[in-house]
Each structure stands twice: as C-alpha cells, then as structure tokens.
Structure 1
Amino acid sequence: MDKKSKKTVGIAVVLVMIFMGIIIVLNKASVQRALKSINSEYSGGLDRTVTVYDYDGNEITQYTGKIDIEDTETGGKVKFDLDGKRTIIYGGIVIVQEN
C-alpha cells in the first residue's frame, strides 16, 4: 500500500470513529431530553395534555394542545402557555403528558 492509500484509509477510519461517537452521544436519554426541550423552546411547545387534580385525586380541569411548560421548582406553581394565553396553576397535583 502506498502512502496516499494509507492516508486515505486513516482518514476514513477517523471519520467513521467520529461518526460512531456522535451516534453514541446522541442516543443517550439525557441528550434526547435536552434536544426535546430545545425543540419545545423554539417551536412554541410540544403537543401535550395537562391535567390538574385536587389533593383528593378529583380532576379539576384539563388542557390539551401545543403547550410550552416553564420549569418552576419553587412555590408549587406550574406555568405554561397555550394558544397564546398564559396559565399559572398554584397548588394541586399537575400531570403533564406528551401526546
């Protein structure tokens, strides 16, 4: 094998290794969640259903549509936008499911 062929094979091996590394990284669940969050942020939300229950487990209301949820870890509140309108829920049990 001459030098040019060896160089070509070496480049091909490096490119395959880089490609495989990218595939491995992108298939991690945490990366998939991050990409979904970015998609939600820039596309105005994901198709979701938000169901609100009282503390006895009775359903109070339900929202369905392209919903962008804002993460709020404090104060027991959930904030989201649906059809251009802001909804803030204080208290209760809130379950968000992707459709």
Structure 2
Amino acid sequence: MYAIVTTGGKQYKVAKGDIIDVEKLDAQPGDKVALDVLMLNNGKETIVDAAALADKKVSCEVLDQFKGEKVLVFKLKKRKRYHRTKGHRQNLTKLQVTELPE
C-alpha cells in the first residue's frame, strides 16, 4: 500500500513508516501534519479520482527541522573576467509517515 502526496510543489511516493525530507513546513518536532493525496494504491486497486481523494489525507509526524546540503552556484562570462560563486542551503523538514488513508 502506497500513496503519492504533494507538498512544497513536489510529489513524493510514500508508504507507512517511510521517512522523507520535504520543503520546510511551519511545524515543530513532534507535531502532526496532514499531506494532500494525489494517488492511492491499496494493493488491489489504484484510486486517482480527485473527487474520491478530496477528503483523504496522509498523516505524518515531524521528526526534525534542518538545512540540506550546500549547493554551489557558479557564474562565468568567458573572456570578460567575470565569475561569481555563491552557495545555498535549503531549509528542510524530516517527516515520518504514520498513517495512510483506507
């Protein structure tokens, strides 16, 4: 049994007990959050109807708030003596899936 959920403009395939890293959510460690379901597979059938999934949510528990790995951005204009290096670390939230809808 698994589900496709959406948060932060991205989609994730999750099953019960999975731990995923998503864009930062406004929640503290230990809080419960509910994610929207786009697709649900219970082993026998797959549900993709938006009307049937409108009231279904995947329950998750917030484990941690942290920063991701540093991503380097390098700009260069050849033969013009222009180059810039910049780094970025995205704020992330670690979630554990506790319950899938039936």
* Structure with the higher fraction of residues in helix conformation: 1
The alignment's TM-score, normalised by the length of structure 1, stands at 0.25
Larger relative strand fraction: 2
TM value normalised by structure 2: 0.24
Higher relative contact order (CA 8 A, sep 6+): 2
